[in-house]
Chains A and B, each alone.
Chain A
């Protein structure tokens, strides 16, 4: 899984790196006290990994490492403690602050924790934090998020975006970061009320059962979803806002093997490109202020061939967008997923 480090990252801008040594010398000449020293070096870096980072079936013990690197010239980092905290219900061992010997520039230290994720728990993201002194009158903190998440039991459990609203109450809708949405009335008129069956690609999907104005789709950001079953095809009902979105997901099989797949979803507001399968086309979309924008929008069917004879355990969606969607950035929305 991807490791997200803190915002204080060393940037490898070639031009800047060349000058680091010279600037550091100049900084030392002033006798300046303090952490960061000169261009190209944002400050100490905190990183971490969780293994496994994807928890399919709690209870599960996760092994977590956290590394603090004193990657800038300047004074040593002193009186260091590292912390690790997890989502509600997760138990971090050992608990509390853990001391680390002082780090001189260029040095790093790593600690390991064991995190117990209890049965029935959900959640994602561990927070790593280092606190250290950079001088006699300065203490600094740095934080990083370590990716670790419990798989969602279903697509509906992972809904994090409201993409369908009533024509007279468009306020909750925000499929595109600009407050637009699909129309519940247009969907019903096309034969797709909440919880209805959608047939596409020879597969049978259940359209989101959420009431209009409630979360009804997943903004694909690397979520893992349990999906037991076997068949020839993994199918999605999906669309994309602010441009087409494409990314690589993973099918995890019960035998421990995995299969990457690419999901390329056309934009909802453009004419469907040739080769695409716009299974639902609505004549208009809902706009902020209970308004309707008379321009067609589409939801697409996409099918991924599965390995014959294997049983799917879970599906990891492409990590190509984040919720809530942001105007100007493409977001990939999944309404339904099925195997058949």
Chain B
């Protein structure tokens, strides 16, 4: 993930301007695409896959409907796992640990001093690569944990800004199949999901730029390109595994994105940063790849591919949300401020289940999905605090999921601490925290005289209620919050015979 939203948006804007400038030159850029696809064995058949209803234009791609499964899913798991999982360090709660390389190169960043004191002045970031072993990686356990958490999809980082791919790629040797674990970590996770948790949708995150790829043209900001430099001397150093290309976008970035689509058949393509790109043909290929098969499937693309095409927007580490009728997805870590594993973060600093569950409810009531991130360790183990949080969320969703999955936003998302959702045949009022002796609602909820209001997770009979002066007053069971197995957020639901 990018370090700051503002920085990302700036980079994305740069990409858009460049793209538009390119488009103004005529169709040359787009026509070059089939020729590009035809080269390279692993990309054979690309031209066929890219034909179909979607054309590589903003106009055509903007007709793509939001898949029902994505609208219904509400909860997904993000996975940031890469070479940065080896140093696994950042100032707690202030910087992203997956930005370690970028931060260690900045003499005024605490990460620089951390690198000096632990690894010495002669170290390089790529010396971490052999320690990224994935030695205890259990993909089946991962996907079964995601399912246990109540997630309906996951998005795996397949290559972050460090440029280390976790998948088989023909355009670089800077990848987990050649270095480090010498395994295709994307294939292993996707195969495990297909076999053991087939209902989980599968997504690939891909950073369009790389900080130090020698071929990257640079964006004048956080992504300088032009090859890495030793962090103390500033001397040029190798970009391990790099295979020279002349055109970063068309010889490297686009081929890697097409490899992800053809090799792993993702349901979600989650780009990051934007910047220089040729994403229109990639997205057209992705949409058409979903349709050109005996049993077509609906796929979805986020808003960070550097072009004005998107199925949803992606607020990052935000905590105040507004209802947006256009679909959106909030992402954040369980860590207070990191997607990658930060070994310096004490368990006590991680977000509590209470905060995460209440945030999920708030997001869903406002038409969002919640993409919650875990940062596994370099050996593939998932820190227990993250397992615990996912399990707690899963416990909550098993009780309250009927008010979450497949729900729609109502005319008013919130009334004080209560959030509203609508599901088939039901109207749901979810209280963030136990309401006390009474739950009082001023919003014009669609109760009728014979409505029976029930508390999910409880065997208590329907709750007594009255309505006067536009206020609905529900009397809580005598045993209070202990009358339900739910914790942290409490669903009061009644039949809505629409």
Residues in A neighbouring B350, C-beta threshold 8 A: none
Give the contacts of A38-76 with B (CB-CB under 8 A). 38-43, 72
Q: Does B325 lie within 8 Å of A36, measured CB to CB? A: no
Q: Does A138 lie within 8 Å of B325, measured CB to CB? A: no
Instruction: Say yes or no: is A140 at the interface (Cβ < 8 Å to chain B).
Output: yes
Q: Bound state CA distance, A39 and B296, in angstroms?
A: 12
Instruction: Say yes or no: is B55 at the interface (Cβ < 8 Å to chain A).
Output: yes
Instruction: Say yes or no: is B129 at the interface (Cβ < 8 Å to chain A).
Output: no
Residues in B neighbouring A39, C-beta threshold 8 A: 53-54, 60, 63-65, 287, 291
Give the contact stretch, choosing among B178-186, B204-212, B355-363, B403-411.
B403-411
Residues in B neighbouring A247, C-beta threshold 8 A: none
Q: Does B326 lie within 8 Å of A7, measured CB to CB? A: yes
Q: A16-B53, A139-B407, A141-B410 are in contact. Are A72 and B296 (CB under 8 A)?
A: no
Instruction: Say yes or no: is B3 at the interface (Cβ < 8 Å to chain A).
Output: no
Residues in A neighbouring B325, C-beta threshold 8 A: 6-7, 141-143
Instruction: Say yes or no: is B113 at the interface (Cβ < 8 Å to chain A).
Output: no
Q: Bound state CA distance, A315 and B485, in angstroms?
A: 61
Pick from B59, B63, B295, B408: contact of A140, CB below 8 A: B408
Q: Does B424 lie within 8 Å of A95, measured CB to CB? A: no
Looking at the assembled complex, report how far the CB atom of B10 sits from the nearest CB atom of chain A, in whole angstroms: 12
Q: Does A134 lie within 8 Å of B446, measured CB to CB? A: no
Residues in B neighbouring A26, C-beta threshold 8 A: 291, 296
Residues in B neighbouring A16, C-beta threshold 8 A: 53-55, 60, 63
Give the contact stretch, choosing among A78-86, A227-235, A253-261.
A78-86
Looking at the assembled complex, report how far the CB atom of B446 sits from the nearest CB atom of chain A, in whole angstroms: 5
The closest CB in chain A to the CB of B409 belongs to A141
Give the contacts of A124-162 with B (CB-CB under 8 A). 127, 129, 131, 133-143
Q: Bound state CA distance, A57 and B367, in angstroms?
A: 37
Residues in B neighbouring A135, C-beta threshold 8 A: 68, 406, 424
Instruction: Say yes or no: is A97 at the interface (Cβ < 8 Å to chain B).
Output: yes
Looking at the assembled complex, report how far the CB atom of A304 sits from the nearest CB atom of chain B, in whole angstroms: 36
Pick from B291, B424, B444: contact of A137, CB below 8 A: B424
The closest CB in chain A to the CB of B423 belongs to A139
Looking at the assembled complex, report how far the CB atom of B326 sits from the nearest CB atom of chain A, in whole angstroms: 5
Q: Does A34 lie within 8 Å of B408, measured CB to CB? A: no
Q: Does B423 lie within 8 Å of A43, measured CB to CB? A: no
Instruction: Say yes or no: is B62 at the interface (Cβ < 8 Å to chain A).
Output: yes
Interface string of A285-318 (1 = CB under 8 A from B): 0000000000000000000000000000000000
Q: A13-B59, A41-B63 are in contact. Are A85 and B411 (CB under 8 A)?
A: yes
Residues in B neighbouring A85, C-beta threshold 8 A: 411
Instruction: Say yes or no: is A37 at the interface (Cβ < 8 Å to chain B).
Output: yes
Instruction: Say yes or no: is B303 at the interface (Cβ < 8 Å to chain A).
Output: no
Instruction: Say yes or no: is A272 at the interface (Cβ < 8 Å to chain B).
Output: no
Of B55, B69, B410, B422, the most chain A CB neighbours within 10 A belong to B422
Q: A6-B325, A79-B498, A95-B444 are in contact. Are A33 and B68 (CB under 8 A)?
A: yes
Residues in B neighbouring A29, C-beta threshold 8 A: 295
Q: A15-B55, A34-B68, A36-B68 are in contact. Are A79 and B60 (CB under 8 A)?
A: no
Instruction: Say yes or no: is A194 at the interface (Cβ < 8 Å to chain B).
Output: no
Q: Bound state CA distance, A137 and B406, in angstroms?
A: 6
Instruction: Say yes or no: is A274 at the interface (Cβ < 8 Å to chain B).
Output: no
Instruction: Say yes or no: is A99 at the interface (Cβ < 8 Å to chain B).
Output: yes
Residues in A neighbouring B287, C-beta threshold 8 A: 39
Instruction: Say yes or no: is A111 at the interface (Cβ < 8 Å to chain B).
Output: no
Q: A15-B55, A43-B65, A135-B68 are in contact. Are A141 and B406 (CB under 8 A)?
A: no
The closest CB in chain B to the CB of A27 belongs to B296
Instruction: Say yes or no: is B144 at the interface (Cβ < 8 Å to chain A).
Output: no
Residues in A neighbouring B64, C-beta threshold 8 A: 39, 42
The closest CB in chain A to the CB of B295 belongs to A30
Looking at the assembled complex, report how far the CB atom of A329 sits from the nearest CB atom of chain B, in whole angstroms: 13
Q: Does A140 lie within 8 Å of B424, measured CB to CB? A: no
Instruction: Say yes or no: is A323 at the interface (Cβ < 8 Å to chain B).
Output: no
Q: A39-B63, A79-B424, A131-B408 are in contact. Are A138 and B295 (CB under 8 A)?
A: no
Q: Does B65 lie within 8 Å of A99, measured CB to CB? A: no
Looking at the assembled complex, report how far the CB atom of A99 sits from the nearest CB atom of chain B, in whole angstroms: 6
Instruction: Say yes or no: is B67 at the interface (Cβ < 8 Å to chain A).
Output: yes
Q: Does A139 lie within 8 Å of B67, measured CB to CB? A: no
Q: Does B424 lie within 8 Å of A96, measured CB to CB? A: no
Instruction: Say yes or no: is B66 at the interface (Cβ < 8 Å to chain A).
Output: yes
Residues in A neighbouring B71, C-beta threshold 8 A: 138, 140
The closest CB in chain A to the CB of B407 belongs to A139
Q: A11-B62, A43-B66 are in contact. Are A80 and B498 (CB under 8 A)?
A: yes
The closest CB in chain A to the CB of B69 belongs to A34
Looking at the assembled complex, report how far the CB atom of A57 sits from the nearest CB atom of chain B, in whole angstroms: 29
Q: Does B498 lie within 8 Å of A97, measured CB to CB? A: yes
Q: A131-B408, A139-B406 are in contact. Are A79 and B425 (CB under 8 A)?
A: yes
Q: A40-B53, A42-B63 are in contact. Are A141 and B425 (CB under 8 A)?
A: no
Q: Does A141 lie within 8 Å of B422, measured CB to CB? A: yes
- Having A36-B66, A140-B408, one finds 6 other A-B pairs with CB under 8 Å, namely A15-B55, A26-B296, A35-B65, A85-B411, A99-B498, A135-B68
Q: What would 11 A/B residue contacts be, using CB atoms closer than 8 Å? A: A6-B325, A7-B325, A29-B295, A38-B53, A38-B291, A42-B65, A97-B446, A131-B410, A138-B68, A138-B406, A141-B367
B: residues with CB less than 8 A from A are: 52-55, 59-60, 62-69, 71-72, 287, 291, 295-296, 298, 325-326, 367, 405-411, 422-425, 444, 446, 498
